[in-house]
Amino acid sequence: MAVRFRADRGNWQAQVFLDGKRVARHFATEQEATQWEQQHQIESLASLRLQEIISASREEGSLAHLVSTCKRLDWAGKDPSQWENACRLAQLLGPDTHAAELTMRALDDLVVELRGQGLSNTTIKKYLSACSVMLKRACRLGYIESVPLMPEKRTLKTPEPRDLVITDEWLAQQLDALERRENRLATSLTMFLRQMACRVGEALDLTWDRVDLKARKVQFVKTKGAMPRRLPLTDDMVKLLKAAKAHGTAAVFPIGYGTYLSQYSHAKHAACDALQLGPTVRKEWVIHTLRHTRITELASMGWQAPAIQQWAGHASLQVTQRYIHAAGINLEELLQC
Domain edges within the chain: 2-155, 168-335
Each residue of 202-246: pLDDT tens digit?
A: 999 899 999 999 999 999 987 776 678 999 999 999 999 999 998
What pLDDT is recorded for position 203? 93
- 185: confidence class by pLDDT, cuts 50, 70, 90: very high
Q: Give the lowest-confidence range in 71-75, 76-80, 268-272, 297-301.
A: 76-80
**What whole-number percentage of the chain has pLDDT above 90?**
36
What pLDDT is recorded for position 76? 83
Q: Give the lowest-confidence range in 40-54, 102-116, 189-203, 232-246.
A: 40-54
Amino acid at 309: Q
> Which of 216 and 78 is assigned the larger pLDDT?
216
Q: Is the pLDDT of residue 46 over 60?
A: no
What pLDDT is recorded for position 253? 94
Each residue of 112-154: pLDDT tens digit?
A: 888 877 777 778 888 888 999 999 999 999 999 999 888 866 5
> Which of 103 and 153 is assigned the larger pLDDT?
103
243's CB contacts (< 8 A; 6+ apart) are 188
- 155: confidence class by pLDDT, cuts 50, 70, 90: low
> Which of 43 and 270 is assigned the larger pLDDT?
270
CATH code of 168-335, in short, is 1.10.443.10
- 320: confidence class by pLDDT, cuts 50, 70, 90: confident
Q: Which of 256, 199, 262, 212 is nearest to 238 (CA)?
A: 212
Alpha-carbon distance of 263 to 112, in angstroms, equals 31
Order the strands of the 211-212 sheet from edge to edge. Answer: 211-212, 217-220, 229-232
User: What does the DSSP assignment read for 48-67?
Assistant: HHHHHHHHH---TTBHHHHH
Amino acid at 326: A
What pLDDT is recorded for position 266? 92
- 57: confidence class by pLDDT, cuts 50, 70, 90: low
H helices present in the chain, as ranges: 30-56, 63-73, 81-93, 104-116, 121-140, 152-155, 168-180, 184-196, 200-204, 235-245, 257-275, 279-284, 288-300, 305-312, 317-326, 331-335
Q: Any idea what DSSP says for residue 18?
A: E
Cα maximum dimension of the chain: 63
